[in-house]
């Protein structure tokens, strides 16, 4: 299967809805600009709105009792934030942090619940997207344990590039270390290795992706797996 096109053409999840259902849902949304570093929810806190990112993206971060943090999922124009609501749960299990600033569609949780009740097509689509999200969560758990930092960093940069719709990324070593759950020194060595291979250019927190095909080769197989699952389940609408 080919890679998913994450081009800046609205929200790809909503684009998968039948036209009438999509138009009805859009009528209940407002466009908002998400700000880098904005916290949309805390663990155990209420989910007040759902978000369909357009040119923005959101990190879902697991917070441990000892203060350690790890990004477990990333949501951009391919998805939606607020999935616990489809299970009847109104609180967030994650720290939801805006990692990429930009526009998103926002809808109050109560309004979303009414749309969900009235649209079997929306219910079916979000059940499939929930499967995709579960796949991503499980991949992160296994990837964090088994794969080398360099391959994980390559995967994470590709995921970020897809959702930022840009070859230019601003990411400090400290931030990358937190997102990947490794020491800063490990990120430094991994970034140097990718730069030596001329896959990226890194300077003072600014990363430029120079060779995307090469970065895909350097990434662990989790990146391609995520892409294939999304294409199969969401775009082609097939059962996994």
| Model pTM above 0.85 | yes
Q: List domains and CATH numbers for the chain.
A: 12-126 (2.60.120.10), 148-218 (1.10.10.10)
Residue 240 pLDDT: 52
> For 171-210, how does the pLDDT look when each residue is reduced to its tens digit (9 = 90+)?
888 888 888 888 889 999 999 999 999 999 998 889 999 9
d(CA 240, CA 43): 30
Query: Alpha carbon 219 to chain centroid distance?
Result: 17
Beta bridge partners of 75: 58
Q: What are the average pLDDT values for consecutive 10-residue runs of the chain, which has 240 residues?
A: 46 94 94 95 96 95 84 94 95 94 96 96 96 92 90 94 91 83 90 96 91 96 93 80
């Amino acid at each position: 299967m080919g890679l998913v096109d994450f081009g800046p053409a609205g929200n790809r999840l909503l684009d998968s809805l039948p036209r009438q259902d999509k138009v009805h849902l859009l009528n209940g949304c407002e466009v908002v600009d998400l700000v880098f570093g904005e916290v949309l929810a805390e663990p155990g806190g209420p989910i007040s709105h759902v978000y369909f990112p357009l040119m923005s993206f959101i990190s879902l971060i697991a917070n441990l009792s000892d203060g350690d943090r790890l990004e477990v999922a990333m949501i951009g124009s391919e998805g939606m934030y607020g999935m616990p609501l489809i299970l009847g749960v109104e609180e967030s299990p994650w720290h939801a942090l805006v990692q990429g600033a930009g526009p998103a569609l926002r809808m109050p949780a109560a309004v979303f619940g009414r749309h969900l009740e009235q649209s079997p097509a929306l219910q079916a689509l979000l059940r499939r997207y929930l499967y995709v999200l579960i796949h991503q969560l499980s991949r992160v758990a296994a990837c964090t344990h088994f794969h080398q930092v360099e391959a994980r960093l390559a995967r994470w940069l590709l995921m970020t590039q897809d959702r930022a719709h840009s070859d230019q990324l601003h990411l400090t070593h400290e931030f990358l270390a937190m997102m990947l759950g490794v020491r800063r020194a490990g990120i430094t060595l991994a970034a140097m290795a990718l730069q030596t291979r001329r896959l990226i250019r890194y300077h003072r927190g600014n990363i430029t992706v120079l060779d995307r095909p090469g970065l895909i080769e350097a990434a662990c197989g989790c990146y391609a797996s995520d892409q294939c699952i999304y294409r199969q389940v969401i775009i082609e609408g097939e059962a996994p």
